[in-house]
Structure 1
Amino acid sequence: MRSESNNPRIVYMGTPEFAVPPLKALIKEGYEIVGVVTVADKPAGRGRNLKESAVKKCARKHDLNVLQPLNLKNDEFIAALKALNADLFIVVAFRMLPEAVWSIPPFGTFNLHGSLLPKYRGAAPIHWAIINGETKSGLTTFLLDHKIDTGGTLLQIEQNIQPGTTTGTLYTELMALGPDLVLRTAKGLLEGNLKPVSQNDNNASHAPK
């Protein structure tokens, strides 16, 4: 069941800087972010001090509830997610989720991926687009399923790749496009106006890390 409040409840999952702008956009739009899931703090630098993910830093600035599970299949973690009574889960640059997680919310779980799926499924789509000399890239939102980046697509946005574009440049360009696509996808799913379209596996390519 959807939460009683008219304000949709969202759990957001992500780790690097790429995932920060969509989170900020959701907060600004007024969605109730009831939980932010990110990786555990990791030792870094000479002093081996614990380093927080970019998403955790953003979440703490906005006083959001942060969860940092070591095991995504952990019963206590899954129970904690269910207790948040979220309408929708949104994933940007995180980890592959088990069905016990992505099947929880009534409106599903969608992911923002850095390619025009079904091209460049996998962990490094931006790198492989540059390596292979593509002239066009983009972003795709899709519903999670049992395999990696194979779920029904929801929305896409294209980005031309100019001569001389580097991986870093394309990363920055796509990062700037992410918030709008995430907002439009969330709105469409929550209002029932957006339906997934099956990917054509014959057109698929892969982007391993």
Structure 2
Amino acid sequence: MKKKIIFLSNGNFSVPTLKYLINNQNKYNLIIKTIITSKKNIINNENNYIKQIALKNNINIIYSEHIYIKKNIKTIINLKPDLLIVISFKYLKQIIWKIPKLGTINIHPSLLPQYKGANPINWVIINGEQKTGLTSFFINKIIDSGNIILQKIVKINNIITYKKLYKLLSKKTKLFLIKTIKKILNLKKKKFKLAPKINNYYSKIYFNYSINKISNLIRGLPYNKPAWCFLNTNNKIKILNIYKIKIINYKHNYFNGKILLKNKNVYISVKNGYIKLLKCNIANSNKKIIKDIEIYNGLINYKNLFVF
């Protein structure tokens, strides 16, 4: 399914990028649903080519002067955009940039956080910089301060003019934007792992897990919140806290959770092997943590031993 784009720009800096996006929508599996731009001509009496491109390609226009009218906000919401792309635009309020699923991104013609503001191309030349570049970032409440997605360095010499650097960065923006979109889509495909607060739900051992997963759980928990399981002794159920084990990879025919007492050691059968108990105790018994032979001695007189 094509990703739905809304393109926001009041400046001709973004013209090469917009043309490229329109001509390559199928190639990149995108569709530009709406263009938001100024109703007026651009400063210095230049024509608003963004507006002309939208009209020529029959793309819906919302004028930036009217962007916060309730009807236009509703239109943007109903379009269900995946991404808002902002280049050379005015400050955008949260009511708009919070709408798209994938976020709202801005392309800024400098290497942020250097040269935040409206005229970075002028100031890198005025200050005699030897490099500038492009930065893509997610828009937030503070201008030019969102999380950076990508940056591209562009070297500059001591004879380049504002006009030439403007054109150079403008042309480079189109492919830089495509790389930014691809990175966003790849990030969204990844499944990020969470780190919730440890409680009894997360610390419970399930013996149908793999031997390594059980080991990881036990090793990953602190002594004040140990991994635990239910222990059956003579058909009485207790809670067993397990603090340290040794894993033994070995094929067997026992059910998962069976306790075996061998050579004064205690083993629990699991998938593809056994876990050997090295440190444990019975919960709520006020007993200290016991080791090796003590565990064995504590269980030797019980029958029908298993954990679950």
TM range (shorter): 0.7 to 0.9
Three-state SS of the structure 2 residue aligned to 1:120 is coil
Map 1:32-181 onto structure 2 (within 5 A). 32-42=31-41, 53-181=48-176
| Separation (CA, whole Å) in 2 of partners of 1:12 and 1:89 | 6
Quickly say closer, same or farther: Cα 1:32–1:162, change in 2 above 3 A: same
1:166, CA displacement in angstroms? 1.0
The count of residues paired between Structure 1 and Structure 2 equals 186
1:10 is aligned, of 2, 5, 8, to 5
TM-score by length of 1: 0.83
Deviation by residue 1:114-147 (Cα, 9 ceiling, x = unmatched): 1000000000000110110101000100000001
Distance 1:12 1:68 in 2: 12
Verify: 1:185 aligned to 2:180, yes or no.
yes
The question of whether the paired residues in 2 share the 8 Å contact of 1:72 and 1:98 is answered with no
Decide which structure has greater strand share. Answer: 2
Instruction: Give the whole-Å Cα distance in 1 for the aligned partners of 2:123 and 2:96.
Output: 29
- The structural deviation recorded for 1:43 is 9.7
Under a length normalisation based on structure 2, what TM-score does the superposition of the two structures give?
Answer: 0.57
Two-structure CA RMSD over aligned residues (Å): 2.2
Structure possessing the higher relative contact order (Cα contacts under 8 Å, 6 or more residues apart)? 1
Q: Which amino acid aligns with 1:32?
A: I
Bigger Rg, structure 1 or 2: 2
Moved more, 114-123 or 51-60: 51-60
- Give me the whole-angstrom Cα distance separating, in 2, the residues matched to 1:113 and 1:174: 10
Give the stretch that moved more between structures: 11-20 or 140-149: 11-20
Deviations 1:29-66 (A, max 9, x none): 21210000001124999xx9xx8511111112211111
1:32 is paired with a residue whose SS is strand
**AA of the residue aligned to 1:154:** I
Output the CA distance in 2 between the equivalents of 1:94 and 1:143: 14
Supply the distance in 2 between the matched residues of 1:24 and 1:177 (Cα, whole angstroms).
Answer: 13
- CA separation of 1:41/1:194 partners in 2, compared to 1, >3 Å: closer, same or farther? farther
* Identity rate, percent: 34
Inter-CA distance 131–40: structure 2 relative to 1 (3 Å threshold): same
Amino acid at match of 2:144: D
